[in-house]
Amino acid sequence: MNGHNHKCGHEGHEGHSTCVSRVPIFNHLEDEQMAEITGTILSTTYKKGEIIYHAGEASDSLYIVKSGRIKIYRLSESGKEQLVRFLSTGDFTGELALFSDSVHEAYAEAMENTEICLIRRRDLQTFLMKYPSISLKILTEFSNRLENSEKQTTRVSTEKVETRLALYLAECIDEEGSSMEFVLPMSKRDLASFLGTTPETISRKLADFEDAGYIRQKPQRKIEVVDLDKLLMV
Amino acid sequence: MNGHNHKCGHEGHEGHSTCVSRVPIFNHLEDEQMAEITGTILSTTYKKGEIIYHAGEASDSLYIVKSGRIKIYRLSESGKEQLVRFLSTGDFTGELALFSDSVHEAYAEAMENTEICLIRRRDLQTFLMKYPSISLKILTEFSNRLENSEKQTTRVSTEKVETRLALYLAECIDEEGSSMEFVLPMSKRDLASFLGTTPETISRKLADFEDAGYIRQKPQRKIEVVDLDKLLMV
DNA sequence: TTACAAACTTGATTCTAATCAAGGTGGCCA
DNA sequence: TGGCCACCTTGATTAGAATCAAGTTTGTAA
């Protein structure tokens, strides 16, 4: 395994003690319950670009992001890369392998320097039986993820690139609150991989949107949506 | 709601009492625990073609298939239908709405006359807290489903139709055990919707495979795979 | 058993997006 | 600050698959 690995918890190490208390799947527990979990957690750091786990590797831990950003991607049967999702603070991954396969099907890569908390399968299963509310949190997270994944499948199956891109931009705006401007959270290259197309096509379609007056592209991956309605009518 | 709905459990109604004991998410429990769950279950029947739930409808129940077959499909933003999965005896659905949205995102339709067991959200949550092992079963099922869904997204995003179809046929053979022959579990129309293509293209690609000597199409949706290796090299 | 509807096949055409190719731009490190 | 590398853009071409349009087959119900 890459990265620097060490036990944490009872050493009074500030950075680590907040690990459990910060993530949604645990922070609803009582203090002493959280402390119990903290005691079993391992902490690891990864540098930008390092692989956290890769497909085919046996898995026996849940990975929780303490700080930093991670991207999860898969390789298709023919070897092409497809971006699945991004994780940031509080998100977790590795769960597929924990509950079924025991082998990772995807790749996890640190996009910047990242701190990860690890819970071993055995410990996690103990906690799940002991504190059932943790399962409810994970079930909620899973069902959201499943919903997203199925929606994505449907879009890639039935919409053309233009529409997929427009919908994606609209979702970025949604998350932004009231502002009509946002920063693309990834390179266009990655966006292409995420939306199931090529960088060239992304480039062209964005240019088309701009020509049509639906959006305005600004420096530093900033995009201003000028006419959301028309964009969504594409 | 469609279908005929009635309480079951303590009436000694044979068909119903086995409802809980037959499904994987419950049948590992003690007899009296299963009996307790059975007491809260509602049973419903649907005729072929009836809609069990539809997108946008509020959801407050988990649906378990007691007998029959169900298909789950979604409509994309532009109104095209996409088949997501099939359920048969012992499978369950409706969970997305239970753990997060509370509104269905997909449609469930009975493909033949079907018996469904319903557990209300409130009851289910009680049981999940009381018997944590149920959560583990559902988590396992979710993670499998998530894995499938992400694999499907990746395939549709990165493989051409020919490859997707070949991979699908190969998976049918896998499930078949040692036989090199299987029956397509759905119409070609549905298969097209499932694989993110059109019936015409399915028809053509299967004809191509047959011409190339990789498969043989027989009456009644039967397909014999003659050369699996070459099929997978497509 | 016939008749009808749904499912399927095949052909011709069009369209979308991938691929190939060649610059351009910008960010970052030495 | 200069140079380099990764990212991005734009153009030309090709390929894959959708669409449109007839037929043909099949399953099913009267």
Distance from C-alpha of B168 to C-alpha of B191, rounded to nearest angstrom: 10
Report CA A13 to chain centroid distance, whole Å: 27
Domain boundaries, chain B: 13-156, 159-231
> Which residues fall within 8 angstroms of residue B104, CB to CB, at 6 or more apart?
B53, B54, B55, B56, B57, B58, B59, B94, B96, B97
pLDDT on residue B49:
87
Distance in Å, residue A34 CA to nucleotide D3 C1': 53
pLDDT on residue B3:
42
CATH for A159-231? Answer: 1.10.10.10
Over residues A145-163, the pLDDT tens digits come to: 999 999 999 999 999 999 9
Distance in Å, residue B156 CA to nucleotide D4 C1': 37
In angstroms, what separates the C-alpha of B11 from chain A's closest C-alpha?
32
Question: Nearest-CA neighbor of A124 among A66, A199, A40, A207?
Answer: A40
For residue B8, pLDDT over 60 is answered with: no
pLDDT on residue B4:
46
Distance from C-alpha of B164 to C-alpha of B8, rounded to nearest angstrom: 44
**Binning pLDDT at 50, 70 and 90, where does residue A20 land?**
confident
For residue A171, pLDDT over 70 is answered with: yes
Over residues B98-132, the pLDDT tens digits come to: 787 689 999 999 998 899 999 999 999 999 999 99
Contact call for A196 and B135, based on CB within 8 A: no
Distances (CA, A) of A225 to A176, A185, B50: 11, 15, 42
Nearest nucleic acid nucleotide to A199, CA to C1' distance: D8
pLDDT on residue B11:
38
Residue with more model confidence, A96 or A109:
A109
**Binning pLDDT at 50, 70 and 90, where does residue A204 land?**
very high
**What percent of chain B clears pLDDT 70, i.e. is strictly above it?**
91
Question: Nearest-CA neighbor of B173 among B219, B117, B232?
Answer: B232
Distance from C-alpha of B42 to C-alpha of B40, rounded to nearest angstrom: 7
For residue A35, pLDDT over 90 is answered with: yes
Q: Would the CA dihedral through A140, A142, A148, A151 be positive or negative?
A: negative
Assign 3-class secondary structure to A122-173: HHHHHHHHHCHHHHHHHHHHHHHHHHHHHHHHHHHHHCCHHHHHHHHHHHHH
> Could you tell me the pTM of the whole model?
0.89
Distance in Å, residue B160 CA to nucleotide C17 C1': 12
**What percent of chain A clears pLDDT 70, i.e. is strictly above it?**
91
Calculate ∠ Cα B103-B149-A60, nearest 5°. Answer: 110
Closest by Cβ to B100, choosing from A74, A78, A140: A140
Contact call for A139 and B99, based on CB within 8 A: yes
Distance in Å, residue A109 CA to nucleotide C13 C1': 45
CATH for A13-156? Answer: 2.60.120.10
State which nucleotides on strand D lie below 7 Å from a protein beta carbon.
7-12, 16-21, 26-27
For residue A16, pLDDT over 70 is answered with: no
Altogether, the residues listed in chain B come to a count of: 234
Disruptive mutation site among A25, A62, A76, A152 for chain B (greatest number of B CBs within 10 Å): A76
pLDDT on residue B17:
53
For residue B2, pLDDT over 50 is answered with: no
**Binning pLDDT at 50, 70 and 90, where does residue A125 land?**
very high
Side chain identity at B202, as an amino acid letter? I
Contact call for B77 and A159, based on CB within 8 A: yes
Q: Which of A53-62, A136-145, A178-187, B153-162 has the highest mean pLDDT?
A: B153-162
Nearest nucleic acid nucleotide to A207, CA to C1' distance: D9
Closest by Cβ to A196, choosing from B139, B144, B158: B158
The three-class DSSP label of residue B9 is coil
The three-class DSSP label of residue A21 is helix
Closest by Cβ to B143, choosing from A95, A151, A155: A95
For B62, the enclosing helix (H) or strand (E) is strand B61-67
pLDDT on residue B137:
93
pLDDT on residue A15:
46
Q: Using CA atoms of B223, B225, B226, B228 in order, give the dihedral in degrees to the nearest 10.
A: 160
| Contact status, residue A107 vs residue A55, Cβ threshold 8 Å | yes
**Binning pLDDT at 50, 70 and 90, where does residue A11 land?**
very low
| Contact status, residue A158 vs residue B119, Cβ threshold 8 Å | no
Residue with more model confidence, B2 or A35:
A35
User: Residues of A with CB below 8 A from B138's CB?
Assistant: 139
In angstroms, what separates the C-alpha of A143 from chain B's closest C-alpha?
5
Report CA A188 to chain centroid distance, whole Å: 17
Over residues B203-213, the pLDDT tens digits come to: 999 999 999 99
For A173, the enclosing helix (H) or strand (E) is helix A161-175
The three-class DSSP label of residue A3 is coil
Over residues B21-80, the pLDDT tens digits come to: 888 999 899 999 999 999 999 999 998 888 999 999 988 899 999 999 999 999 999 889
Contact call for B158 and A78, based on CB within 8 A: yes
Disruptive mutation site among B103, B154, B169 for chain A (greatest number of A CBs within 10 Å): B154
Closest by Cβ to B146, choosing from A75, A146, A156: A146
For residue A3, pLDDT over 60 is answered with: no
Query: In degrees rounded to 5, what are phi and psi of residue B174?
Result: -50, -50
Secondary structure tally for chain B: helices H, strands E: 9, 12
Looking from the CA of A153 toward its CB, the CA atoms found within 13 Å total 29
Which residues put CB within 7 Å of chain C, the nucleic strand?
A 160-162, 196-198, 200-201, 219-220; B 187-190, 199-200, 202-204, 206-207, 217, 221
Q: Count chain A–chain B contacts defined by CB atoms under 8 A.
A: 157
State which nucleotides on strand C lie below 7 Å from a protein beta carbon.
7-12, 16-21, 26-27
**Binning pLDDT at 50, 70 and 90, where does residue B12 land?**
very low
For residue B192, pLDDT over 70 is answered with: yes
